[in-house]
Each structure stands twice: as C-alpha cells, then as structure tokens.
Structure 1
Amino acid sequence: MTSQHTLQVYDEDLERLRAHVSQMAALADEELADAVRALVERDSALAESVVQRDRTLDAMEAEGERKAIEIIALRAPVADDLREIMAIVKIINALERVGDYAKNIAKRTTVLIGTLPDAPSQLLPVLAEEVRGMLAQVIDAFIGRDTKAAVAVWQSDAKVDALYTSLFRELLTYMVENPRRITAATHLLFIAKNLERVGDQATNIAELVYFMVEGEQLPDERPKSDESAVITAPGDEGDGEH
C-alpha cells in the first residue's frame, strides 16, 4: 500500500510539473502576442504591461526548476522519468527566453512609438504568427509525447528563417531609401531577430521532446534558410573581389 501511495504521489508530482510547462507556455505566448500588438497598434501602455508581466515568467522558471530538483531529490527517478524531468527543466528555460524576447520587443516598442514609419513592415505580424504557431504546436507535442509533431516543428524553422531574411531585405532597402529611417528600422530589425529567435527556441523544445520520448537526439543540423548575413544593401553588390 505504501509503495502504491508513493507511486501515486510521484505521478502527481510529475503531472504538476507538466502542467507548469503548459502554464508557462501560455503566459509566454500571451506576452509575445501582446508585444507585437503593442507595436502594430502603437500602444505604449500595453508594451509596458508586457515588460512588467515578464517578472511572473521569471518567477515561474525558478519555481519550475525548484519543483524538478525536489522530485529528483525525493523520488530518485531513473530512465524515462529522469530524462523527462531533465528535458522539462530545459523547456522551462527556453520558455523563459521567449518571455525575454517578448519583453525586448515591448521595450523597443516604447522607444519606437512616435517615430514608427506610417506603414511598418507587414511581414512582422506574419513572422510573429508563424513563431507563435510553432510554439503552440511544440507544446502540444510535449503534452501528447508526439515525436512526429515535434519533428514537423523542427523542420518548419526553415520557413521562419526565410521570412526573417525577406524582412531583413525589406528593412535594409527601407533604410537605404531614406537615411532618416535608420534608427526606427534598426529597432525593427532587432524586433524581427527576437521573433526569429523565438522560432529557434521552439525548435530547441522540439529537439527536447524528441529526446524525451525516444531517448536519442535528432540530427545535429536542422534546416536553415537565414541568408541575412550575406545580404548587401541595394547598389552595394559590386562586381569586384570581396
């Protein structure tokens, strides 16, 4: 009876830890959505609320890590359970990073309001929706222990990279056409990079889900389509040696 009770308590502890991941994911997604909406709608109050809310996500990261350590110390999990707990700790860390990216977007938005171009890139909301979709899908994969869905998220990172590259080209052209736009466009470039990094975190979580379930790593090299490092400004291509 005692062993059955202990096993039940252990299962309940694990379930609470899984639920903690879902709660963190929901909060991170909400922060990200509100940060982008604040940018599009030029809403400084909403942007500031995102900055403040990130403290909650930071606290949840610490609480999740504490719960995981407690389970390891008290229950001495092995094999699959230990692998899952270690993966969860890393997933919690990744979700906290998503919150940091949302906070950074919100902070830049408060600086940009009043100086934003009349029509900021329409690709920014598209990129945001893409990475939010990846995040939702990978958390579903985690909850359902669905490696097929995790691999699909892992592969979709190439689409995010392609969107980011297109956005990078657009903003670079925007700066070249009018140097007075450089400051605003530079902030938008950093915002776009933060969104692209959210996609990277979703991909990292996908790798963790796969490892958690299968006990082995996905291939080291995932599909990448970020060509921003080799893009030159219009008129700067040249035909000589580089």
Structure 2
Amino acid sequence: MDHFIILIRSISAFLLLLVIARILGKQTLSNMNFHDFVTAVIMGAIAANLAFNEKMEVMHLIISLVVFTGTSYLLSKLNLKSRRMRLLAEGSPTVLIEGGKILEQNLEKNKLTLDSLNQTLRQKDVFDINEVEYALLEVNGQVSVMKKKKFRTVTLDDIHLINNKKERLPIELIMDGKLLEENINLNNAPRDHLFKVLTTQHKQISDVFYAVLGSDGRLYIDYYNDQLKHPVDIE
C-alpha cells in the first residue's frame, strides 16, 4: 500500500511540474535567469517532497507549488511591463572584454577564471583572444562575442555581390567507411567525382571516416588516418 501511495504521489508531482512548465512558458527553459533558477530549485524541492515525504500533507505542498507558480508568473508579467523590475529580477549583462582588453575585475565578480573565459570563446569559434573586440556575459550565463572588424565574416552585402543561386543542404556521401548509396541516388550526387578524388589520393571508401558534399558544391573528405605529425592534443 505504501508503494502504491508513493507511485501515485510521484506521478502527481510529475504531472504538476509539467503543467507548471507549460504555464510559465518556453522562455523559462531556453533562457533561464535568476528568478527562473530560484523558482525551479524551490519547485523541484517541493515536488520531491510531494513524491516521497509522507509526513507532509499533500494539500500543503500543492498550495506551496501554486504560490510559487503564481509568484513566478506574476514576476514574468511585471518584467514585461517594467524595465526597472526586469533589471532587479534578472540583472544586466556584464562586459568581460572591452576594446580588446580583458576586464579582470568583472571576471572576478562573476567567479570566472581566464581558463573558463577561453573555453567559452572557443565554443564561439574564437581560438585567439586577440580577435575579440567585445565579450559580454548575458543574464542567462551565455557569453556573446563581437569580433574585431578585420576578423569578422565577410557578407554578400560587404562585397556588393548578389547571388541568386539556390542553396541546398549538404549531402553526406560516406560515413564510418560506408558509402551512403541512398543519399547519392536521391540527390543525384556526383559519384564519379568522389571516386576520382579518392583514386587521385590513393584511397578507398573504407579509408574515409566522413565525406560530405557541401552546400557550396565542394567536397569535404576526412580520413581515418589524418597524418598529423604534431597534433595539438591527444586524449
């Protein structure tokens, strides 16, 4: 009987949290800020007690969930109406790099080390900190990066070039040493060109880890044996 009661309470807790998540909206999941984080932690604790703590009355726990849900929902609505309230509840972005200079005090205030900053920049495809003009720590914990002008990607507008050619998705030709016949046939991929490239490099299909025909029509091939004489890092 005790096991059955825990089962029912656990299912009820799950369904309640699911309903609450739907009420609070998708923004809570994709862009969690301070008040969303606090709400999630508290609701998780209440839901856990609802599922397993038989000493606490179910109605008391449900009332707590309703109160915190209502508070979070009301605060979200207030944030939409008032920027001052939004700043109090969510905070504001913090500048980590300005004009190419690292702001050490801001790193320290946000408990960020130089290693963690470099890791975040690498996740933004920035491997040289000298390329960064500005870097901001957003309220959701993500880092936004603006590169220096000379390191930014050139757009068609920059070179005043209009390309009306229809773009297409990349077509995978080989994966894990296996030729993807279905992809080639469905997309009329240039099979002869692929084999010609492999023959020129004295390779076979089994030597290829990954081959893809890019959206620009270029063929990219990665072999199992990369022949790197001095790899940067080996696990």
TM-score by length of 2: 0.25
Q: Whose Rg is larger?
A: 2
Higher fraction of strand: 2
TM-score if structure 1 supplies the norm length?
0.24
Greater helix share, structure number: 1
